[in-house]
Amino acid sequence: MQQKENQTLEKVREITYHPQDRMNRFHTLSLPERSAVFEQLSPHVQQDILDSLKKEELLDLLDHFDLQHAENILLRIKDEKKRRGLALFLKTELKEKAEYFIRFHPKAALNLLNFNYLLLPETATIGEVADGIEEHYKEVGKLPEVLVHRNGNFLGEVPASTLVRESNINNSIDRFVVPIKTVSFRAEVKEIMDALNSTKRGKVAVLDTDGSIVGIIYTNDVMDLFGSHPATDLYDFAGVVESERPFDSVGKKVNNRYRWLMINLATAFLAAFVVGFFKDTLDAIVVLAIYMPVIAGMGNNAATQTLAVTARGIAIGEIKLKNGMPAILREVGAGSINGLINGFLVFLIATFWNQNPLLGLIAGVSIFLNLVIAGFFGAFVPLFMKSIGKDPATSATIFITTATDVFGFFIFLGLATLILL
């Protein structure tokens, strides 16, 4: 610990006594290191750095402090417009992260994630902690949790009981740090449940992707949501289904998939029913059968492309059903343009191949509409499945291919019936 403290102090001295090269040296630090070093700089040097950092860099820096500290730093930014913009962005970003995290229960509110904490370096003394708590209480009216970091990386907490018993105010808090469970705000629901079930401290620290603190969640508050359900029932109550892994056993793979395949069997018969409904049309115009695999194949491929993009966004926490409408509309727009391009090509091919412009028109329009349908269902279905706790990777494709097959066949054969018969 002493070695790391000395390294931090050395970086503080380098940045302090090299004003002409100050920002270059500051930029060489990792994001956690920047916050740790910034805390130990003099107010004058801190102000120089604040004035020099770009908006994005300021946001990254502020993200590593507790809310009270971040607010105090914001007040030192001279440009009022810039200061207000940063405050609004931080507030919005924090709200979005909290909303994403609490998706494990439909009745969970934003106040389930607690932001009442102090984040201090492990080198802080008991006296400095006491001063920080007093200042925090004056500002907020609540006693905070005391969380500790080492060079910007989260370590754990210092229990209130320890602070009360310790009489030597000059002792540093590093010897009193107790680890607590952590979980990313983007964690899968099962991982969140695991952390809440296994913690012995009664709380879990929620971390951002860069390791900074987002907030604290208390197990008692979560259990209040689940009522009388024991901890072992949390997974079922939250609708959690563990995602399948590549090296799972054969039995586990079968167990994860057979229900969906049975549903797929039923939906396949639905598509067959649509085709059977137009049996007389197919008997009269046999050439239509040639284009049915084209209609279905184009719709399925387009939907699979959309599904891949959406699933990737879900995996990294970029998109969910609540904020997904713009993405869905853009996929519909992309499907429309691709539908026009491919529909026109099919129109030309069918017209010259079969010497029938009407058949070409029907096939082209069907391709266009099916790619629009593929764009919508390819984006909506995985978001919906994820929102109800199902794994999009094993469930979404069934409903997507059903939609493109059923609607594609219905549009193609329906138009053929109306126009060609």
Which residues neighbour 404 within 8 Å (Cβ) at sequence distance 6 or greater?
Answer: 296, 299, 300, 302, 303, 370, 373, 374, 377
Looking at residue 410, its pLDDT comes to 92
pLDDT value at residue 234: 40
Residue carrying the six token digits 């691709």: 338
Which percentage of the chain shows pLDDT scores above 70? 89
| pLDDT higher than 80, residue 316 | no
Contact between 342 and 298 (Cβ < 8 Å): yes
Is 205 or 308 the better-scoring residue by pLDDT?
205
Residues with Cβ < 8 Å from 154, sequence gap 6 or more? Answer: 147, 148, 182, 205, 207, 211, 212, 213
What's the token pair of residue 307? Answer: 């599904």
Kindly state the DSSP code that residue 245 receives in the 8-state scheme: -
Return the pLDDT at 329: 93
Burial bucket for residue 266 (CB in 10 Å: 0-12, 13-18, 19+): exposed
What letter does residue 289 receive in the DSSP assignment? H
Query: pLDDT-based confidence at 341, cuts 50/70/90?
Result: very high
- Quote the CA–CA distance of 10 and 371 in Å, as a whole number: 60
Count of positions (residues) in the chain: 421
Average pLDDT over residues 328-351: 92
Q: How confident is the model at residue 323 (pLDDT cuts 50, 70, 90)?
A: confident
Average pLDDT score, the chain: 82
Q: Is it the case that residue 372 has pLDDT exceeding 90?
A: yes
- Report the percentage of the chain scoring pLDDT > 90: 14
> Among 64-68, 88-92, 236-240, 299-303, which is the least confidently predicted range?
236-240
pLDDT category at 232 given cuts 50, 70, 90 is: very low
Using CA atoms, how far residue 198 sits from 129, 150, 330, in Å, is: 29, 24, 42
CB 147 within 8 A of CB 157: yes
> Which pLDDT value is given to residue 393?
65
**CA separation for the pair 15, 348 (Å, rounded):** 68
Residue 108 CB partners (closer than 8 Å, separation 6+): 102, 225
pLDDT band at 358 (very low <50, low <70, confident <90, very high): very high
DSSP assignment letter at 108: -
Average pLDDT over residues 227-256: 54
Q: Which residue has the tokens 């494990």?
A: 104
Q: Is the pLDDT of residue 183 over 60?
A: yes
pLDDT of residue 394: 64
Q: How far apart, in whole angstroms, are the C-alpha atoms of residue 417 and residue 421? A: 5
Q: Do 343 and 365 form a contact (C-beta atoms < 8 A)?
A: yes
The residue with tokens 């029938």 is 356
pLDDT at residue 246 tops 80: no
| Per-residue tokens: 142 | 């609540």
Q: What is the band of 233 on the pLDDT scale with cuts at 50, 70, 90?
A: very low
pLDDT tens, 56-113?
888 888 888 888 888 888 888 888 888 888 888 888 888 888 777 777 666 677 778 8
Q: Is the per-residue pLDDT at 344 higher than 90?
A: yes
Residue 193 zone, left/alpha/beta (φ > 0; ψ -120 to 50; rest): alpha
Which pLDDT score, from 0 to 100, does residue 248 have? 65
Does 1 have pLDDT greater than 60? no
Measure the CA–CA gap between 332 and 339, rounded to whole angstroms. Answer: 10
pLDDT computed for residue 60 by the predictor: 85
Neighbouring residues of 261: CB distance < 8 A, sequence distance ≥ 6 = none
Does the pLDDT of residue 224 top 90, yes or no? Answer: no
- How high is the pLDDT of residue 361? 93
217's enclosing H/E stretch is: strand 213-218
- pLDDT of 239 higher than 50: no
pLDDT at 228: 45
Sorting pLDDT into bands at 50, 70 and 90, what band is 330?
A: very high
State residue 235's pLDDT score. Answer: 39
